[in-house]
Structure 1
Amino acid sequence: MANSVERAVGIDIGGTGMKAGIVDLVNGELVSERVRIPTPEGAKPKDVLKTVKELLDLLGPDAKGLPVGICFPTIVKNGKTLSAANVSKKWIDFEADAFFEEGLGQPIHFVNDADAAGLAELRYGSAKEQPGLTILTTLGTGIGSAVLFNGELVPNAELGHLQWNGESIEKYAATSARERLDLSWSEWAGRLQEFYDHLEFLFSPDLILIGGGVSKNPEKFLPLIKTRAEIRIATHANNAGIIGAASLAL
């Protein structure tokens, strides 16, 4: 490798759970058990930092001294978080890099969660050497998105916040909407169909990838969705955020 770093820790902070693992940056694979702790109620910065420390402790001595990348469901620019969709409003205009570096006593890299998943797919997965426009969507508490064009990430694309019936489309079509409204898989797939029809109308992607927790059950909804572009589950599924966040060490 051109870079001497071969392993790093990736931490994926979600609206409901926080996950971490040690990643082999040569092959883009988890080389530790994936550890998970529920996201603290309200997801305030100080509580999230405390949980990050707990995750690092759970990973044990193998994680000591490794670079750390953290991904999070918010717009991230120059180390600062600029939005807060499913977390505390304290993250708006918050110096996240500096806060975590001070709290952990080491340099870290902070990135949007869907962008991290996009980086994992670009570097080690379905979008590697994929020409044209790829849109990765992560379906979970909300809908995250990564826009990938000819091998490059276009950061902070918030396609889950496209307006739909007067509010963000993620309120209508995220996995949480299926659970909240007790929708059948086919009813939910109908909502996803509207979301992907809208994406295709606006962007005409060449490939659509699906990540997030629901990507472990593709047989329940994916055959019910029809798109012009090829649509498939992301290679790294729900580990993509961890792998992509860790890859920022490169």
Structure 2
Amino acid sequence: MASTPSSLPSRLSTRLSIQRRTRASCRGAARPTSHRNEFFLRPRATADDAAEEILGVYVTAGAVDVRAAAVNARTGAFLRAGASTKLESASASGVVEAVRKVVDTLEWRGAVGISLPGLVTRIEGESADAKRGTIVRAELEAATRTATGCEVAISSGAEACGAAELAYGAGVELGEVATKGLVMFCMVGARFSTSLYDAGQIVKNFSGEKVVDSWGDGDVATIPEENGATDNETGWKAFAQRVNAYLIELEEKYKPDAIILGGKAGQNAEKILPALTCQTKVVPGTLGFVAGVKGAALLASQQIATRGTLSRVREAIGVANGVSPQSLTDEQLRSVFDKFDTSQNGVLELDELIAATEALNVQVHDARKLMDSLDYDENGVVSFDEWMRWWKSQVKVETVTTIVSQAEWHNVLKDEGDRLICLEVGFTFCRPCKAFAKKFHQIAEDFPSVKFVFMHGNENGSTTILARDELGVKATPSFFLFRSGKRLHMHSGAKEERLRNAINRHLTDSEWPQALGPRLPVISEEEELKLAERS
């Protein structure tokens, strides 16, 4: 079935006059069968070419049809009329074919963001799930990229709708909570899907779906259908109470500053909100179904830019995945420096310095202060020698080693032999983890005989699988002690005394640091738990 001009609202009509990204002679041409010609007519957008104009594509609830429109990712404005087509099947081939049709109809040549509610995996490296009907995100991106010749980024429905609401809709009224706090988006209807945003940025590899997996199970109150048997006060009350129970569970686990309610529950907020008893502020979404199209474009613009940064780092250091910043060689650092020296003048300016440093998993908290501390000759830029001097004195000798993959963790276990290892696992959005960071580093300095390691459990697919499946992390921060490859201890919670007690309990007398004075009495785990209960 050919795609047709969409019946999307007038907001999709042209707002800005923008230049076509293809030659006039190519307009209206039939789709070529030659892969070479196809690639020529549809040049793939790169990270450097990614502009504010992105084609947002959204598969509607129930996987019925596909809607697409060009979006200004900065403002959220639709740029001109969109297009839609039927989704023949909720499969990888069905999605690819539908996207190809709307791309052809709109003669699109730029980047494409696609949002697929309930159809794609949420965790990097996660396998397809036939029972849930999910498709591997990376594989679908690759297939769609091949079929269209466009750069493609895929998000889930909750991720896209939440991003749009935060940037252009309900988040505007939330103010600083949206830009600085932790905001959860819950799309509630026949499905219950979640996404999380920390300081306005989507949290990668968020596993909130595990909490709401049981939403469709059993004989439970479902959302009342308009004019249906349960479309009455009793039906809506039962449904609202069920929504409330799930929100309370999510609130207790993730402690967001605000929750945006989307989907049909958000559209019927006046029937839902009065029944909620959770402590977190809950507001309804304001964008309706267009949130999916706008959010798909917004997330694509961010993801494509991030890919460009990561590819530059990976190309520079010569590995497919990230590595610990402490393990980089001088040659790898030189290569990264050159990659981020975009002006090719042999020095890093402020924006280049921040990009290079953060790309290597070293967080920059005060960019100007960092520049001033590195710029020894005070000429306003940083040379490679200045950067290398700082790296070796501050990062290379860091008392806590940051790891970013399962392979790195397994290497630590192997390389450290019978040395005691202390591993902290946090999440990028975990505020107790951030607050505990200085204490963890101080403990590491106090116990030089112990190898201290830190990992974000949602950094990437590899760390997510390590945290969830191998280590069994349920809450963060979580602390583990290992020796000779064997786990000796595990606990959760940002309590300094408990971690110090655990380390003391597993040290030998010769490993106790003399700088701390006489060894403290060893407290058993049972005694420690009793003390924790009393406090």
Return the TM-score normalized by structure 1.
Answer: 0.78
Stretch moving more, 107-116 or 177-186: 177-186
Contact 1:15-1:86 at 8 Å conserved across structures: no
Distance of 2:281 and 2:208 partners within structure 1:
19
User: For residues 99-248 of structure 1, what are the structure 2 equivalents within 5 Å?
Assistant: 99-127=143-171, 129-130=176-177, 131-162=180-211, 168-171=213-216, 177-178=222-223, 183=230, 184-247=235-298, 248=300
* 1:196 positional shift: 1.0
* 1:94 positional shift: 5.9
* 1:207 positional shift: 0.2
Q: Which blocks of at least 5 consecutive residues in structure 1 are unaligned?
A: none
> SS of the residue aligned with 1:75?
coil
Q: Which has the higher contact order (CA 8 A, sep 6+)?
A: 1
1:152-176 CA distances to partner (integer Å, 9 max, x unpaired)? 321232424316xxxx232159x99
* Distance change in 2, residues 1:83/1:124 (3 Å): farther
* Distance change in 2, residues 1:118/1:93 (3 Å): closer
Aligned-residue identity in percent: 22
> Which of 67, 77, 80 is the matching residue for 2:111?
67
Question: Which has more helix, going by share of residues?
Answer: 2
> SS of the residue aligned with 1:29?
coil
* AA matched with 2:241: G
Distance of 1:3 and 1:51 partners within structure 2:
25
Matched, 1:10 2:56: yes
Matched, 1:45 2:92: yes
Distance of 1:55 and 1:176 partners within structure 2:
37
Q: Which blocks of at least 5 consecutive residues in structure 2 are unaligned?
A: 1-47, 303-535
Distance of 2:221 and 2:99 partners within structure 1:
24
> SS of the residue aligned with 1:219?
helix
The higher radius of gyration belongs to 2
> SS of the residue aligned with 2:223?
helix
1:186-245 CA distances to partner (integer Å, 9 max, x unpaired)? 221111011112112222221000122443332232333232111011243332221121
Contact 2:50-2:111 at 8 Å conserved across structures: no
Distance of 1:34 and 1:81 partners within structure 2:
33
Stretch moving more, 44-53 or 20-29: 20-29
Contact 2:115-2:160 at 8 Å conserved across structures: yes
Question: Which has more strand, going by share of residues?
Answer: 1
How many residue pairs get aligned? The number is: 238
Return the TM-score normalized by structure 2.
Answer: 0.39
* 1:76 positional shift: 4.5
* AA matched with 1:118: G
Query: RMSD across aligned C-alpha pairs, in angstroms?
Result: 3.4
* AA matched with 1:242: V
* AA matched with 1:49: V
Correspondence for 1:97: 141
* 1:14 positional shift: 4.6
Correspondence for 2:72: 24
Once superposed, which parts of structure 1, at least 4 consecutive aligned residues long, lie more than 6 Å away? none
Distance of 2:75 and 2:221 partners within structure 1:
32
Contact 1:172-1:191 at 8 Å conserved across structures: no
Stretch moving more, 126-135 or 105-114: 126-135
* Distance change in 2, residues 1:159/1:46 (3 Å): same
1:46-75 CA distances to partner (integer Å, 9 max, x unpaired)? 111122233345xx44x5223211122323
> SS of the residue aligned with 1:226?
coil
